[in-house]
Amino acid sequence: MKTVDCDYFVVGSGMAGLMTALHLASYGKVTLVSKGRLQDCNTNFAQGGICCVMDPADSFDRHARDTMIAGAWLGKSAVVHEICENAPAGIADLVDCGVKFSLSDEGWWDLTREGGHSARRIFHAGDITGEKCEAAMIRRVRRAGIDIRENTVVVDLIMTGRIGASGDNRCVGAYVLDKDSGCIYAIRSANTVLATGGCGKVYLYTCNPDSATGDGVALAWRAGAKIENMEFIQFHPTCLYHPQAKRFLISEAVRGEGAVLVDRHGREFMKKYDPRGSLAPRDIVARSIDSEMKRTGDDCMFLDIRHKGRAYLMKRFPNIYSKCKSFGIDMATDLIPVVPAAHYACGGIQATTDGRTSIKGLSAVGECACTGLHGANRLASNSLMEALVCARLTAARLGPHPEKVSLPRIPAWKTGSAVPPDEAVLVSHMWDEIRRLMWDYVGIVRTNKRLDRAARRLKTLRGEIRDYYFRYLVTPDTLELRNLAVCAELIVKSAQKRKESRGLHYTLDYPRQAKCAKQTVLEGFKG
């Protein structure tokens, strides 16, 4: 079996992965894998922007307070302040990569505002911020001498304790599957960094790309890592509702620039749920839309920004305006139909701001990590900020003082008696069943009864998936299904442990918020 050696092994090609790889490239050999193309990630779909205090009238303390309030005071205060205060350095990294953020007519940063923010502090590049950032980082990565391996799926992390190596149990790389050749080989490294993004595809309706199957969380859990706060899945309130509009978001910046949520009769309804109206944090807005849809029986609610006029909308939101127009919706004259959709995982692999996990040799950065920044609900545009800051801090820890580790020989991947799969319909059926039961039972509003039903069925499904995994040769679809099922079960187990309603976790059985805010921690797999 082929073994590839490197000083730093980075898994994932969104902002967290690319920035970590770029920072580490000057310290040693970096191998970066992406299970699709580099641009096939959540970052590439981000519209709104990146939080960073730059206005002298604003402050890091105000940003931190807004973050804590949005997170229902479950965020870790020291972490929140550290990340907010390091955001300017992260923005400077992007500017250094060539990102051109939008400027005002006066030549200053054109900072915008989104729900939950008390000031205008969102950097943006038009309304395709993620796409512009991703393109700039990819150009820089391709020139940095990094060993880039696209269409490469991680099968499992390699732990010394499981391959019979001596010494403390630690991660020494991973087995990976080359999708083009079908071969499995090893990438060996003393420093593995998971930056695999989220798990939105665990739900039937999501604005995430098909790659968001929770791979990093599942890989880390199977390796024995602690997982934190997986019950907090953020549903973006305003996904475009149209039969041909797959995964298209109406950015929160649209509400930040004056759009209000209304019913099909044009009546504003958010003020009866929260005094902040349409600029309330995402958890409140998503629940309110869900409540109105259930109350009225309507399939969607609407955004109204017609008062801004066509010229302004085409200049400020060119991509969103054009996309809506392609579906016959003119933002200047029509209401925009919207529904909530699974968007972001606030929980994940328990990690520090500099990427440390509960496993030696394994770091986690970005959406797959849970640093404590987001608490029970992510404040708008804090995700890319966290990715930038934690990538920088993780590289600063790993780069200058690399750990001296004697890496063991990696055993060849064993296929045993596995045969080529001949019933792919089983994979697609189990995939669909998981996503539907998670939407029906573990969605925006939960109950003990629904969670119990989901837990029982997921236990059975995971048994069936395990049997399929060992019976047939590994394929990318099987690996994603396996990871999706792990994440679904972790979300349910975490939700069952929280006996209160807080942030994104709202349950009819415990509608009140507990006085004491506690993290939900699940131990990693010990088998």
pLDDT tens track, the chain, 527 positions: 999 999 999 999 999 999 999 999 999 999 999 999 999 998 998 888 999 999 999 999 999 999 999 999 999 999 999 999 999 999 999 999 999 999 998 899 999 998 899 999 999 998 899 999 999 999 999 999 999 999 999 999 999 999 999 889 999 999 999 999 999 999 999 999 999 999 999 998 898 999 999 999 999 999 999 999 999 999 999 999 998 887 788 988 899 999 999 999 999 999 999 999 999 988 899 999 999 998 999 989 999 999 999 999 999 999 999 999 999 999 999 999 999 999 999 999 999 999 999 999 999 999 999 999 999 999 999 999 999 999 999 999 999 877 778 999 999 999 888 898 877 888 999 999 999 999 999 999 999 999 999 999 999 999 999 999 999 999 999 999 999 999 999 999 999 999 999 999 999 999 999 999 999 999 999 87
pLDDT at residue number 300:
93
The rounded Cα 487 to chain-centroid distance in angstroms is: 13
Residues 6+ apart with CB under 8 A from 62: 53, 118, 119
* Alpha helices, DSSP H, located in 224-337: 252-256, 282-296, 310-316, 318-326
Residue 419 belongs to a domain: no
Backbone CA torsion sign across 102, 106, 107, 112: negative
pLDDT at residue number 402:
72
Q: Do residues 181 and 254 share a domain?
A: no
* Pairwise CA distance, residues 357 & 353, whole Å: 10
Tokens of 93: 């990294």
Q: Do residues 394 and 491 share a domain?
A: no
Q: Do residues 164 and 277 share a domain?
A: no
Burial class for 433, CB neighbours closer than 10 Å (0-12, 13-18, 19+): middle
Q: Do residues 244 and 222 share a domain?
A: no
Residue 480 belongs to a domain: yes
Cα-trace Rg, the chain? 22
Q: Do residues 210 and 79 share a domain?
A: yes
pLDDT at residue number 316:
92
Q: Do residues 319 and 377 share a domain?
A: no
* Pairwise CA distance, residues 132 & 125, whole Å: 7
CATH number of the domain that residue 29 is part of: 3.50.50.60
Q: DSSP character for 438?
A: H
Q: Are strands 30-33 and 8-11 parallel, antiparallel or unpaired?
A: parallel
Instruction: State the catalytic residues.
Output: 282
Cα dihedral 345, 346, 352, 353, rounded to 10, equals 100
User: 453 lies in which domain range?
Assistant: 424-509
Residue 413 belongs to a domain: no
Residues 6+ apart with CB under 8 A from 354: 390, 393, 394, 396, 397
Residue 58 belongs to a domain: yes
Q: Do residues 448 and 320 share a domain?
A: no
Q: Do residues 353 and 490 share a domain?
A: no
Q: Do residues 128 and 210 share a domain?
A: yes
This prediction's pTM? 0.93
pLDDT at residue number 45:
86
Residues 6+ apart with CB under 8 A from 445: 287, 290, 506, 507, 508
Q: Do residues 370 and 484 share a domain?
A: no
CATH number of the domain that residue 442 is part of: 1.20.58.100
What DSSP letter does each residue of 50-104 carry, written as one string? EE----TTS-HHHHHHHHHHHTTT-S-HHHHHHHHHHHHHHHHHHHHHT----B-
Residue 274 belongs to a domain: yes
The rounded Cα 179 to chain-centroid distance in angstroms is: 23
Residue 62 belongs to a domain: yes
Q: Do residues 362 and 451 share a domain?
A: no
Residue 290 belongs to a domain: yes
pLDDT at residue number 527:
72
* Pairwise CA distance, residues 497 & 151, whole Å: 37
pLDDT at residue number 184:
97
Tally of domains within the chain = 3
pLDDT at residue number 115:
85
Q: Do residues 254 and 109 share a domain?
A: no
Residue 408 belongs to a domain: no
Residue 282's Cβ-side half-sphere holds a number of Cα atoms within 13 Å equal to 34
CATH number of the domain that residue 294 is part of: 3.90.700.10
